Amino acid sequence: MNAQQLLKTEEAISFVKDSFAKELATQLHLIKVSSPIAVLDGTGINDDLNGVERPVGFPVKSLDERRAVVVHSLAKWKRVRLQELGIEAGRGLLTDMRALRPDEDYSPIHSIYVDQWDWEKHISPEQRTTGFLKATVERIYEALRTTETHVAADYPEITPILPGKITFLHAEDLLKQYPTLTPKEREHEVVKQYGAVFLMGIGGELSHGEPHDGRAPDYDDWSTETEDGHRGLNGDILLWHPVLETSFEVSSMGIRVDKHALVRQLALRGCEDRQELSFHSRLLAGELPQSIGGGIGQSRVCMFMLRKGHIGEVQVSIWPEAVREELAGAGVGLL
């Protein structure tokens, strides 16, 4: 790929990011705010993801060598920030999150650098329902569809493919439909069929004793019983990627734990000791607002909108030399 083509790609990336961020903020009534690249260790603020990923850490000289860690995401920080900024119910915050995840396995859709739109919205206790969750997902999906329309108007080689509606499914129903397939194989089948799916109930054990995928116990509520008899007030937005020809996750999100769900989920994961950490003790004391939130991958959205087959085509990261050589041989230019 020559310099002119790379520059055109960079311009298109900026267009996608600007367009989607504007649409998302409008749909969800979000205010753009600043956010940290690192937080102090031992506060419970950093996102534990699946509970096994190691954060990048370093000592801070001016704080008597106290250890800080580069964020994995801002799932819990955002909820604290809602309270600190006094954001009222019905409104929320939006920030550009930059993270390092050195334990991430390289793939066409994974690198060790993570860039996403992190958002969090203050809600009332009465809105902790699947109905409200679905309505929020539909607004995010509308922002994605509008962005795709804008991209197609400016880049005629892009043809809109997102269906008019997103389909809602629960991980338990997916297990019953495809009992012999792996979780990723199940996702592949349903997203190929529907084009866009919100898969609910990520993190809690399903009827066969295993979760569909991992979730930390202290941000998304994956254990509350819902009106339809399932469990979980969270999920993933999955799209069909026409180049990779597979299910493609662009967002993980959900209604956040209240104090009852937090206690329950910490017990289920055997980490009740976290209740003593700053974030957790504040939540249990009722000092933090009820909220819904999530992360939307910036590079993932750009990959989808610009029909790119490798994440390195839309973000600058660190890659093994063998990967660079293989992609260069296939005519794929990494940024």
* Beta-strand runs (E) in the chain: 30-32, 38-40, 57-60, 66-70, 92-100, 113-122, 167-170, 196-200, 234-241, 246-255, 291-297
Residue of 73, 251, 252, 315 with catalytic role: 252
Give Cα 104 to chain centroid, integer Å: 15
How big is the CA angle at 332 (ends 156 and 236), to the nearest 5 degrees? 70
Rounded to whole angstroms, the Cα distance separating 159 from 96 reads 28
Written as six digits, the tokens of 64 are 């008597």
Task: Spell out the alpha helix ranges (H) of the chain.
Answer: 3-28, 75-85, 130-154, 171-177, 183-194, 259-268, 278-284, 298-305, 321-329
Q: Give the Cβ contact number of residue 35 at 10 Å.
A: 16
The greatest distance separating any two alpha carbons of the chain, rounded to the nearest whole angstrom, comes to 58
Annotation marks residue 88 as catalytic: no
Beta bridge partners of 240: 247
C-alpha to C-alpha distances, 97 to 72, 75, 114, 278, nearest whole angstrom: 9, 10, 8, 22
Rounded to whole angstroms, the Cα distance separating 330 from 324 reads 10
Residue of 73, 111, 116, 298 with catalytic role: 116
Annotation marks residue 116 as catalytic: yes
Residue of 79, 101, 231, 256 with catalytic role: 101
Annotation marks residue 34 as catalytic: no
Residue of 48, 218, 220, 236 with catalytic role: 236
Annotation marks residue 41 as catalytic: no
Phi and psi at 237, nearest 5°, equal -90, 120
Rg (CA), the chain: 20
Written as six digits, the tokens of 138 are 């539909």
Residue of 215, 296, 297, 212 lying closest to 256 (CA atoms): 215
Annotation marks residue 252 as catalytic: yes
Annotation marks residue 247 as catalytic: no
Residue of 23, 47, 172, 313 with catalytic role: 47
Written as six digits, the tokens of 106 are 């390289």
Rounded to whole angstroms, the Cα distance separating 274 from 45 reads 11
The residues annotated as belonging to the active site are 47, 101, 116, 236, 249, 252
